[in-house]
Amino acid sequence: MTTITMSAATAVPTPAHRAHAHSQLLARLTGLQFILTFATSIPPALSLYVPALKDPAFVLGGGFDAGVSWGAVLELALILTNIGTALTLYPVLRQRFPVLSLGYVAARLTECGFIALGIVAMMALNTLRLQAGAADAGQLQVVAQALVAVHDWTFRIGPGVVVGIGNGLILGYMMWKSRLVPRAMAILGLVGGPALLAAGLAVVLGLIDAGATPQIVATLPEFLWELSLGVWLLVRGFNPTALAALDARQE
């Protein structure tokens, strides 16, 4: 009879192995959520909200607009995925960056606060459209344009300014220092964050128009940073060597 014995080290995963596997699971959840932020933010901005934002007579149409309602639903999902990216990264990064990792969570919450205010403005516009009745058309359009302006500024300050600080500078720096993803990729965050922040502040100060060519160009590195980060983490996860160093630090 041949007896096969298995050591405890191979039979039962060690705490280090379990921590490593858990961190890689968080990496893939983070990547998935970053990709979902694109899937939930692009349709409202490029399609669903467009009639309400561009047509001054939209408020006179009567009845709830399904496009606005679905845009609000997608942006609620965007809030969840935005916060989710911070929550899944925090347990991994907090040992090396106790302040910055919490700062990233705060930046995501701040960004989502502006997004939520924009959702309220759009749904208020939808309610005004539904309940307009025989109200004066000119007055309705004035109120509607005020709600559109509120929505526009929540976008310009939230995704237009706060994201440059959170996803760009803070997250880019943590990924650069920790080497959890390729440094060449992290450079996109370190470049895109300041560029997006500078363009956003220029819009706030009235130096350039929102959506003008300078702002579009300044947004591209940040866009590529978040997209590449999402795909990389979903497919590859964290750099095993860098992750092992973080796990050792935690132990």
Residue 12 confidence class, pLDDT cut points 50, 70, 90 = low
Q: What percent of the chain has pLDDT over 90?
A: 82
Asked if pLDDT for residue 132 goes beyond 90, the answer is no
| pLDDT tens digits for range 84-118 | 999 999 999 998 999 999 999 999 999 999 999 99
Residue of 173, 126, 119, 178 whose CA lies nearest to 150: 119
Q: How far apart are CA 108 and CA 168, in angstroms?
A: 11
Q: How far apart are CA 143 and CA 191, in angstroms?
A: 39
161: left (phi over 0), alpha (psi -120 to 50) or beta: alpha
**104, containing H or E segment:** helix 98-130
Helix axes of 66-93 and 15-43: crossing angle, nearest 10 degrees: 160
| pLDDT tens digits for range 236-251 | 999 999 999 887 766 6
Does this model's pTM top 0.75? My answer is yes
pLDDT at residue 174, rounded to an integer? 97
| pLDDT tens digits for range 70-87 | 999 999 999 999 999 999
| DSSP state for residue 60 in the 8-state scheme | G
20 versus 183: the higher-pLDDT residue is 183
